[in-house]
Structure 1
């Protein structure tokens, strides 16, 4: 069966699925597309090869972008807003180029032009990531003869020029005064339709992203277990289907479950707990910061603040990860903005359990630092750096063991407890 679809570029794409065969082609005119579809179906029926789709000649980069978007939509993975925005920008700059003209020199010039327009290193890195994705997709799925090596070389060149780079980790945490002023501003604003006061408190209680807050439903809250089900939680590897049960805690000065109950009293007409658009939420937060003259504070910084408070309340990394959804502990460490000595927790002094806790923290910190040093290729100073950062915890462990009578200065080195590290 043949399907003819009009693309955003105005061209016509034909897809023929027949007898477990699949072939596609793109045409300028609908009549040409229809004629090709009939001829292709006839070839399939006669048992002839349909490998001519490997010779598809979309001719321009814009065709490949449309091809990628259509394929993704067909399998239920339509590009989200940020990806579609980037693809549109790529089409605007490179869409009319013939595939043979996507050379290293031309792509380097594209990067320089984007930088002059104001695109930062992170934005330009995303541009080249999606550029490579589109070309790889066309080659792998449709057999288009296109190479990605010019993209790789152009990326290296632009990185050396300082035009492509990674994002800088933010360490901005709102002060107690800033939070107090924001809450007072939202609570006393009678004209604000969005319950920003409760939303800010909930963000500080749950560490959820603003899109997640606007997406949770009453039916997904289990009051007895104090958990909420979050669908398709953000993950760099697999977002679709990444559903997580998230505990609703009371550890940051705000009770997440109590705030949900309070919201029920004020708003229960919608399936959504906080029925608002995430972009409207962000805009309201930015306006408030501007009016209050609070500089360089983003709504996402509330997630940083909540995560840091979880650690300060005594939760371990694996426990915090259950709340925040992080699978990479290095990313989680980035969000905490805590010094290693902040891993000291309010334990019952002088108990064996406390010594075990401190030993586990020290081992975990040592392993993390050694792995990071190994990845950087800095073998010489790796152990010294790791021991220096874990020093406060090791000193605390020694003090606890002395208090409990497990060791003494007069004991021989072989008789003293050892901290076993396993990678």
Structure 2
């Protein structure tokens, strides 16, 4: 049964009580609105389709993000990066609204505004985080909310970067990173290692001496981006460079002093500026390594060396000419 109570000027509190359901209460500015809301709630209860939205109405997006940061983010490999993104979201006006009041149109407007400032991929990742927050809220926290991100268009996934070292850029780059050793401890070694092996920035930053096996000429990675262990073969240049480094007493010691991959990437950007090299990211060195190895090994082998789970990534680097394809077919005939 519904009741309307006057709580003050332009304050009408509607309350719906029905056996088997939690009491529902909401305040409106007019009696007409209060009656209309109560009628809807009573109808849903009578038809057995009522869903208690009170928790979704009490919980703001900021509250959900905070809980997500405490319960879900720590389980991810990119926890630090995601925490930074969560903090940025918590400052946005949408974070102060309840989950129940957020709709696709709100995030479509956010998408359009952000696309004027940052890249498509940045916006895609920002929306992906919010989408997962809503999914977790519904499935694991038992908060009855639909996912508003599912109803809007997402920015397109950008094509993979194909930036390579050109002309004398490698010479200039290696000179720049070698000249700033005191400022960026180990940047020269890290840069050469990336070019020679194709290791990711995070893998290089976290590398310890115990992972290097000079007898087998490999680096053993137990915790990689895709969650599987892999072996990184060392080129002669990479192995000789590592052997020339002073060994620490503890094999658990890291080779590099950078706090994380972001710190190393920042140092790398400064070195590129000094070398007058434009639009080169540290991760581009992984592309450079794969491009150099591709002509000398099968795609399946390249995928294994680079740590790709499928050969689709390897096929990007396998681009034989028409004459080479003809020769291969005739040789097999």
TM-score normalised to structure 1 length = 0.60
Given candidates 218, 237, 245, the residue that maps to 2:231 is 245
Which string of whole-angstrom CA distances, capped at 9 and with x for unpartnered residues, describes residues 223-258 of structure 1? 2112222132112xxx3xx322222234xxxx2222
Q: Are the structure 2 counterparts of residues 121 and 88 from structure 1 closer, same or farther at C-alpha, using a change threshold of 3 Å?
A: same
Check 1:186–1:78 CA distance in 2 against 1; reply closer, same or farther (3 A cut).
Answer: closer
Note the alpha carbon deviations across 1:340-375, whole angstroms, 9 max, x for none: 23xxxxxxxxxxxxxxxxxxxxxxxxxxxxxxxxxx
After TM superposition, the structure 1 = structure 2 runs for residues 65-80 of structure 1, keeping only pairs within 5 Å, are: 65-72=65-72, 76-77=75-76, 80=79
Q: 1-side partners of 2:218 and 2:181: how far apart?
A: 31
Q: 1:287 to 1:123 in 2, by over 3 A?
A: same
2:181–2:187: 8 Å Cα contact kept in structure 1? no
Cα displacement (A) at 1:191: 3.8
Question: Where does residue 313 of structure 2 map in the other structure?
Answer: 331
Deviation of 1:111 (Å): 1.7
In the TM superposition, residue 392 of structure 1 has moved relative to its aligned partner by 3.3
From 286, 289, 297, the equivalent of 2:272 is 289
Contact 2:176 2:274 in 1 (8 A): no
Among 180, 196, 219, the alignment partner of 2:171 is: 180
Give 1:64 deviation, angstroms.
Answer: 1.5
Change (3 A) 1:69 1:153: same
| Equivalent-residue separation in structure 1 for 2:75 and 2:110 (angstroms) | 31
CA contact (8 A) 1:260 1:273 kept: no
Distance in 2 (alpha carbons) for counterparts of 1:315 and 1:226 = 18
Q: What's the secondary structure of 1:142's corresponding residue?
A: coil
Q: Say how many residue pairs are matched.
A: 279
Paired residue secondary structure (2:254): coil
| Alignment equivalent of 1:260, drawn from 242, 246, 251 | 242
What secondary structure is seen at the aligned counterpart in 1 of 2:232?
Answer: strand
Instruction: For residues 60-106 of structure 1, give each alpha carbon's deviation from its aligned partner in whole angstroms, at most 9, with x where no partner exists.
Output: 11121122222226x74486122222222332222111222111222
Report if aligned partners of 2:194, 2:200 keep a CA contact under 8 Å in 1: yes
**What CA distance in whole angstroms lies between the structure 1 residues aligned with 2:157 and 2:78?**
22
Q: TM-score, normalised by structure 2?
A: 0.75
- CA 1:151–1:191: 2 relative to 1, 3 Å: closer
Which residue of the partner structure matches residue 272 of structure 1? 254
1:262 to 1:124, Cα distance in 2 relative to 1, 3 A: same
- Spell out, residue by residue over 1:382-416, the C-alpha distance to the aligned partner (whole angstroms, 9 max, x if none): xxxxxxxxx53442035436xxxxxxxxxxxxxxx
Q: Measure how far apart 1:54 and its partner are.
A: 9.7
Whole-Å Cα distance in 2 between the matches of residues 145 and 114 of structure 1? 28
Matches within 5 A, 1:1-400: 56-57=55-56, 58-72=58-72, 76-77=75-76, 80-93=79-92, 94-116=94-116, 118-148=117-147, 150-154=148-152, 156=153, 159=154, 164-175=155-166, 177-189=168-180, 191-235=182-226, 239=227, 242-250=228-236, 255-264=237-246, 271-277=253-259, 278-312=261-295, 314-334=296-316, 336=317, 339-341=319-321, 391-400=322-331
Distance 1:79 1:287, change over 3 A: closer
5+ unaligned residues in a row in structure 1: which ranges? 1-52, 342-390, 402-416, 418-423
Q: Distance in 1 between matches of 2:77 and 2:194?
A: 28
Q: CA RMSD in A?
A: 2.7
Do 1:263 and 1:273's aligned partners in 2 also have CA atoms closer than 8 Å?
no
Q: Secondary structure at the match of 1:263?
A: coil
Counterpart-to-counterpart distance in 2, 1:137 and 1:208:
33
Shift of 1:280: 3.0
